[in-house]
Amino acid sequence: MRAAAHFRSEMAAALGTIFTGLAAGLLFPALLLPLAASLSGKRKARGAIIYACVTALVTVGAWFFARLAVDIEPPSAPAIYVEVATGVIVITIMIALIGPVMLTQKLATVLDALVRHTGQLTLFFILTMALVQFAVVILRYVFGINSIFMQDSITYLHGSVFLLASGYALLTDDHVRVDIIYREASEQFKARVNLAGAYLFLFPFCLVSLWAAAPYVASSWGVLEGSTEQSGIQAVFLLKTLIPVFLVLLAMAGFSQAARAGDILRGER
């Protein structure tokens, strides 16, 4: 028992390290690409310099924000700063070789396809959820049979649809938008709003939430958290894992949206 508990604890720590490492070394440096491309255009050397400067300014700003925030602590592990520096250096070199616009467009194409395929997958979840709900009603009110497992499955499917389809809804502009200006505005104005919204609201939300969710999800894996009902689905830890997946998909959709906004501002769309 002690060995199993120790193993789960080690697994939770490793999972938390993986989450934070991916966020620091890959997601955070990549999200600044569309902004650098918008500011520098197609000039490779200028793009690399602007990207490095923007990343440095944002990193310092994020560190001071974490110092001032009540419930957020800046990372203390040196490895995280090494991961950020490594990611920034790699992307800076790629910008110098390929160019900021080309690199952004290629990456946006890949991320766009991934988010779309994931969103389309949730259509099967919705159909399955409707069928299971129908079966639960028939079993309960016609045959007097109550299945906790089937009821839990509806919760799992509903949570999966919401978390996995949010990025797709943002990408296809199917989310609820309450405004009196944006709908009738010019494409240039919409592009500026989308670019500003991504960097002022969307990306900070995704990164801060991912940072906060890492220990929460890792602790769930550490105990292999399951249902409070004995006959329920014993995989709450898997459902909670969809939280960082949701945040990454949302950030990827924002990247694609920001890349399109940059293309519009440069007159390429």
> How do residues 219-249 score in pLDDT, each as one tens digit?
888 788 888 888 888 888 889 989 989 999 9
CA 91, 92, 98 angle in degrees (round to 5)?
80
Distance CA 110, CA 112 (A): 5
Considering Cα of 157, then 159, then 164, then 168, what sign does the dihedral take?
A: positive
Question: Tell me, what's the pLDDT at 213?
Answer: 82
Q: At what angle do helices 100-141 and 44-68 cross, to 10 degrees?
A: 50
Residue 159 binned pLDDT confidence (cut-offs 50, 70, 90): very high
Question: Tell me, what's the pLDDT at 102?
Answer: 92
For residue 140, count other CB atoms closer than 10 A to its CB: 14
Distance CA 30, CA 37 (A): 12
Residue 216 binned pLDDT confidence (cut-offs 50, 70, 90): confident
Torsion of CA 34, 38, 44, 46, to 10 degrees: -120
The mean pLDDT value for 120-140 works out to 92
Question: Tell me, what's the pLDDT at 108?
Answer: 93
- 15, 220 Cβ separation under 8 angstroms: no
Q: Does residue 54 or residue 173 have the better pLDDT?
A: 54
Would the pTM count as exceeding 0.85?
yes
Question: Tell me, what's the pLDDT at 14?
Answer: 65
Structure tokens at 196: 């500003």
Structure tokens at 113: 């396809």
